[in-house]
Amino acid sequence: MRFKVALFQFAVIATASLFGLSGAAAAKTIQLVGLGDSLMAGYQLPPGDGFPAKLEAALKAKGLDVAISDAGVSGDTTSGGLARADWSVPDGTDGVILELGANDALRGIAPEESEKNLDAIIAKLKARKIPVILAGMLAPPNMGGDYADRFNPIYQRLAEKYQLPLYPFFLDGVAAQAKLQLEDGMHPNPQGVDVMVQRFMPQIETFIGTIVEAQK
């Protein structure tokens, strides 16, 4: 009789443990990485005011258990991003916000080269089964119409090729808005980052939803 009671108690404990583990697994924090340049790195902004930190806070405020690592490097080009893609995106990453290309355009790098580098970054992440949301960029007006015609379609082509969610212009709502920019007229100030986060939210929420669904 005592043996049966002990066996029953063991079964109850084992079942409870199993459900506890299942609950822990269900509560797994979604790990995102923002792979980008100074626009991702929060150039000249106080800690906590950059895009990854503010986006993470906004998502948590909506009840989403998400952590966003800032893998932004000021001045980085698509070539630099490709060179560090493997170690900037660690194992265990659930998704990547890929934001690169602004410095390529500012330096007049051939758009074909930029597209080749972005393509290679995406291919690397896809091979590791890491989902990507692509944040697009537009060429600055001073580069001229011919350059813009070659540069601007890069992101749409890559999104279609790899079936990625695309946010067409990372600086949407902030570009050319002096009150939302630093004195350099290029980088967002804290208020500008707020606008970027607000506009980015619908697509990143959908992106996270697809990650969660795929992990079930």
Q: Quick check: is 130 in a domain?
A: yes
Q: Quick check: is 164 in a domain?
A: yes
Averaged pLDDT, 154-169: 98
Averaged pLDDT, 126-151: 97
Give the per-residue pLDDT at 87: 96
35 is in which domain, residue-wise? 29-215
Q: Quick check: is 177 in a domain?
A: yes
CATH of the domain at 87: 3.40.50.1110
Q: Is 215 helix (H, G, I), strand (E, B) or coil?
A: helix
Torsion of CA 96, 110, 43, 85, to 10 degrees: 30
Give the per-residue pLDDT at 9: 44
Which residue has better confidence, 47 or 17?
47
User: Structural domain tally of the chain?
Assistant: 1
**Cα 190 to Cα 45: distance, rounded to the nearest angstrom:** 7
Give the per-residue pLDDT at 71: 98
Averaged pLDDT, 2-11: 42
Q: Quick check: is 198 in a domain?
A: yes
Averaged pLDDT, 80-85: 98
Q: Quick check: is 190 in a domain?
A: yes
Confidence band of 27 (pLDDT split at 50, 70, 90): low
Percent of the chain with pLDDT over 70: 88
**Nearest partner of 112 among 142, 147, 70, 162, judged by Cα:** 147
**Cα 68 to Cα 77: distance, rounded to the nearest angstrom:** 21
Residues labelled catalytic: 38, 184, 187
**Cα 154 to Cα 110: distance, rounded to the nearest angstrom:** 11
Q: Is 182 helix (H, G, I), strand (E, B) or coil?
A: coil
Give the per-residue pLDDT at 16: 40
Q: Quick check: is 21 in a domain?
A: no
